[in-house]
Amino acid sequence: MPNRLLDSQVSVNSSATGSISVPVTSTPTVFATLGLNATTAGPNLEVQFTVTATVSVAVAAVITPVTISVQRVVAGVPTTIYSVTTDLPIVTALSNTVITFDGADFHPPAGFLVYQALISSPAGLLVFPTRVGPESMIAAAYSD
């Protein structure tokens, strides 16, 4: 198990907080980006992350799925390393749902690593959820 901390970062998005809401569409939208310096990593590099997003549904007659993905971007090429889909409940009035999950990226390439969190909801929904914040991603790189 890697036990030496190489770098840690936090990305907090303020574009979807308070009274401002941003629609979640079928196009994956980046809401958090951070970079980790793993240039001195040993052979067992591991990145651990926590992602949080709060979404709201005004009125929904059907269960509304929301997908949050984490991508590692190396040399401009994104690779999805983790994805979570959750169903927002059927509601009759405004309802906020906090989505939080932890994940890990085992043995990514050493160097400067960029991670992004993206959010989307499938096309064809009658009512799209909105991002109401808070939104964040915390990541740390560990090695031996």
- What pLDDT, in 10s, does the model give residues 58-86? 776 667 889 999 999 988 999 999 999 98
**Residue of 56 and 7 predicted with greater confidence:** 7
Domain residue spans in the chain? 4-93+111-124
The two three-digit tokens of residue 90, written as one number: 């059927």
**Under a CB-based contact definition with an 8 Å cutoff, are residues 47 and 138 in contact?**
no
CB burial string 20-46: b at 16+ within 10 A, e below: ebbebeeebeebbbbebebeebeeebb
Nearest by Cα to 52 from 68, 66, 40, 33 = 68
pTM recorded for the entire structure: 0.88
Taken in order 124, 64, 25, 80, is the CA torsion positive or negative? negative
pLDDT-derived band at 133 (thresholds 50, 70, 90) equals confident
CA separation for the pair 5, 142 (Å, rounded): 5
- Can you say whether residue 124 is alpha, beta or left, with left for phi > 0 and alpha for psi between -120 and 50 degrees? left
